[in-house]
Structure 1
Amino acid sequence: MQGISRWFCHMSSVLVCWVVATVANADTKNAIPVKVGAYEYGVVYFFENDKPSGFTPELIADLNAIQSKYFFELVETSSRRRYNDLAMGGFDLILMESPDWDWRDQDVLFSDPIVVEYDLFIARKEDVPGPGWFDDITRHELLCVLGFHYKFASFNANPEYLQDHFGVLFHYDEQQLFDHLLDGEGDVGIVSAGFLARAYAKNPELSQRVFIGPSPDFSYELVAVISKQSAISLAEFNDLIRIVKREGNIAQEWRDMHGNLPTG
Structure 2
Amino acid sequence: MSRTLALVTGVFAMCWGSAASPKTEITVGAYYFPPVAEISHTNEPQGLLGDLIQGIEAANEDVEIRVFYTSPKRRYLDFEAGLYDVIFFESADWGWSDRDATMSRPILTDEELYVALKKPDRDLSFFEDISRHHIVAMSGYHYGFADFETDSQVLLEKFNIEFSDSHSRNLQLIKADRPSVAEVAIISRSYLQMHLSEHPEDWRTLLISDKLDQRYQLRIIARKDGPVTADDMLHLMAPLVTNGAYRLMVEKWGLQLPRGFLTGFDLP
- Shorter chain as denominator, the TM-score bin is 0.7 to 0.9
Corresponding residue for 1:209?
A: 205
RMSD over aligned Cα atoms: 2.3
Contact 2:221 2:230 in 1 (8 A): no
Contact 2:220 2:230 in 1 (8 A): no
Contact 2:24 2:64 in 1 (8 A): yes
Identity %: 25
Corresponding residue for 1:84?
A: 77
Deviations 1:82-141 (A, max 9, x none): 111111111111111111111122211111211101111111112662222211111111
Offset of 1:29 from its aligned partner? 9.1
Corresponding residue for 1:164?
A: 157
Q: In 1, distance between residues paired with 2:113 and 2:155?
A: 18
Corresponding residue for 1:37?
A: 29
Indicate whether 1:138 and 2:131 are aligned.
yes
For residue 46 of structure 2, the aligned residue among 50, 53, 56 is: 53
Offset of 1:204 from its aligned partner? 1.8
Give the SS at the match of 1:126. coil
TM alignment of 1:94-173, pairs within 5 A: 94-126=87-119, 129-173=122-166
Deviations 1:142-164 (A, max 9, x none): 11111000011110111111111
Corresponding residue for 1:190?
A: 186
Corresponding residue for 1:93?
A: 86
Contact 2:21 2:62 in 1 (8 A): no
Matching residue's letter, 1:184: D
Contact 1:63 1:244 in 2 (8 A): yes
Corresponding residue for 1:18?
A: none
Larger Rg: 1
Offset of 1:78 from its aligned partner? 0.7
For residue 220 of structure 1, the aligned residue among 196, 216, 231 is: 216
Contact 2:164 2:170 in 1 (8 A): yes
Offset of 1:239 from its aligned partner? 2.1
Task: State the number of aligned residues.
Answer: 237
Could you list the runs of 4 or more consecutive aligned residues of structure 1 that deviate by over 4 angstroms after TM superposition? 47-51
Q: In 1, distance between residues paired with 2:84 and 2:20?
A: 18
Change (3 A) 1:54 1:28: farther
With normalisation by structure 1, the TM-score equals 0.82
Structure number having the greater helix percentage: 1
Corresponding residue for 1:3?
A: none
Q: Which runs of 5+ in 2 are unaligned?
A: 1-18, 259-268
With normalisation by structure 2, the TM-score equals 0.81
Matching residue's letter, 1:206: D
Change (3 A) 1:49 1:227: closer
Deviations 1:186-230 (A, max 9, x none): 111001122212212222212221111012100111111111122
